[in-house]
Every structure is written in structure tokens, then in C-alpha cells.
Amino acid sequence: MATITPLAPVVCVGPVTYTGAGGRPKGHREPQGSGEAPGVADAHVFMPATAAAGVGRNEYYKSEEEYFHAVAAALGEEYKASPPQGFLVQIDDPFLPDIFFEPGLSDAAKKSAAPRSMFEATNFALIGIPAEKLRFHTCYGINEGPRPL
């Protein structure tokens, strides 16, 4: 697969920890509400955040389950810290549908391909965030065929 910029894989080689807002880039500023987007109610504005399954490859933890839960604990802190009052948190999981396009997998195998621990970890990360303040996003079919140039 050719890319415009080189892919840099994210690999976990030590304990996952949440570093907090102090780790944000210089010049970063938080949105201030609907004044940032005139005519858009805060109830429709969201802060995108990755799902635990989208944070690289594990080379440190004994199991994928342990890894997903460590990532989820850190992400949960970020999910709670990120959105300004009134904004939604959108969990982006673009990798989830990949299991449905694995050649040769039966329907039963597809159902079991997504580790239950991925879903448990995401649910763990979302504890304390009201359901009405959440969105879940995934993409289906975007990489399934050639596109004209």
C-alpha cells in the first residue's frame, strides 16, 4: 500500500498512563462552545476520540485484554476531560468493520473475531459519561475498492 507520508506504527512497549492536559501541544486551545460555530447548538458539536482498539500494537502487556483495559483506563480520563460542557464525545473505531472483510472467515468466525475485551474496554472507558453525551462512529466500505484519480 502506497502512502503520501510514511506510516509510523504505534507500538506499546511500556505501561500505558494518562498524562493529562499538560501533554497537549503548545498553542492548543479548547473550543468555547457554539460561539465557535455560529448557528450550531452545542448539543450537535462533538469531540472525536479514538477507541481503545485503535491505539496501536501491544508488545508489553501479557494479553490483548490487559492491553485494551490499560488503554481504556487512560482514554477514559481523556474522554471525561476533553469535551467542553454540553459537547458530545464521539468514539471513533474505524478498525471494527475490518473483521467483516477477512477472506475465508465464516459468519461465526467473523462474530468471534472482534475480541470481547475490545468492547468491554470501551464500555469501561465510558463509565461516568451519560449515554446521551456519546456518539459511536465507524466506517464501512471506505477501503473496499479502487477510486478514480
pLDDT band at 138 (very low <50, low <70, confident <90, very high): confident
**pLDDT score of 14:** 95
Q: What is the pLDDT of residues 6-34, one digit of tens each?
A: 777 889 999 999 887 655 545 445 555 54
CA distance linking residue 63 with residue 68, whole number of Å: 9
The verdict on residue 20 lying in a domain is: no
Cell reading at 41: 447548538
Task: Kindly state the helix (H) or strand (E) to which residue 136 belongs, with its residue range.
Answer: strand 134-137
| C-alpha distance from residue 26 to each of 21, 36, 109, 144 (Å) | 11, 20, 46, 38
Give the length of the chain: 149
Residue 62 pLDDT: 94
Tell me the residue range of the domain where 46 lies: 39-137
Q: Note whether residue 26 is domain-resident.
A: no
Is residue 54 a part of any domain in this protein?
yes
Q: Are 26 and 51 in contact (CB under 8 A)?
A: no
In this structure, is residue 88 part of a structural domain?
A: yes
Q: Which one has a higher pLDDT value, 106 or 26? A: 106
**Domains in the chain: how many in total?**
1
- The rounded distance, in Å, linking the Cα atoms of 96 and 108 is 16
Instruction: Give the percent of the chain with pLDDT over 90.
Output: 11
